Amino acid sequence: MARLGVNIDHIATLREARKGVEPDPFLSLSILTSLNVDQVTLHLREDRRHIQEDDLARIIQSKVLPVNLEMSASPQMAEFTLRYKPKTATLVPENRSEITTEGGLDLTKKTDEIQKVISLLQAEKICVSLFIDPDIKQIKLAKELGAFAIEIHTGAYAYAFGKKNEKEEWSRINDVVKSAGHLKVYAGHGLNVSNLPSLVSIKQIEEYNIGHSIISRAVFVGLKQAIAEIQAILR
Ligand code: PXP
Q: What is the pLDDT of residues 178-199, one digit of tens each?
A: 999 999 999 999 999 999 999 9
Q: Are 227 and 221 in contact (CB under 8 A)?
A: no
Atom of ligand 1 minimally distant from the CA of 210: 16
Q: What is the dihedral of CA 92, 183, 147, 207, to 10 degrees?
A: 40
Residue 70 annotated as catalytic? yes
The Cα–Cα gap between 234 and 225 comes to 14
Q: What is the pLDDT of residues 12-53, one digit of tens each?
A: 999 999 999 999 999 999 999 999 999 999 999 988 999 999
- Mean pLDDT score, 100-115: 89
CA of 212 to the centre of ligand 1 (A): 8
Q: Are 177 and 212 in contact (CB under 8 A)?
A: no
pLDDT at 205 over 70: yes
Q: Are 195 and 158 in contact (CB under 8 A)?
A: yes
The Cα–Cα gap between 144 and 78 comes to 20
The CATH classification number of 3-234 equals 3.20.20.70
Nearest CA to ligand 1 atom 12: 189
Q: What is the dihedral of CA 229, 6, 55, 16, to 10 degrees?
A: -60
Q: For the chain, give the percent of residues with pLDDT over 90.
A: 94
Residue 124 annotated as catalytic? no
CA of 15 to the centre of ligand 1 (A): 19
The Cα–Cα gap between 118 and 128 comes to 6
The Cα–Cα gap between 133 and 149 comes to 13
CA terminus-to-terminus distance, the chain: 5
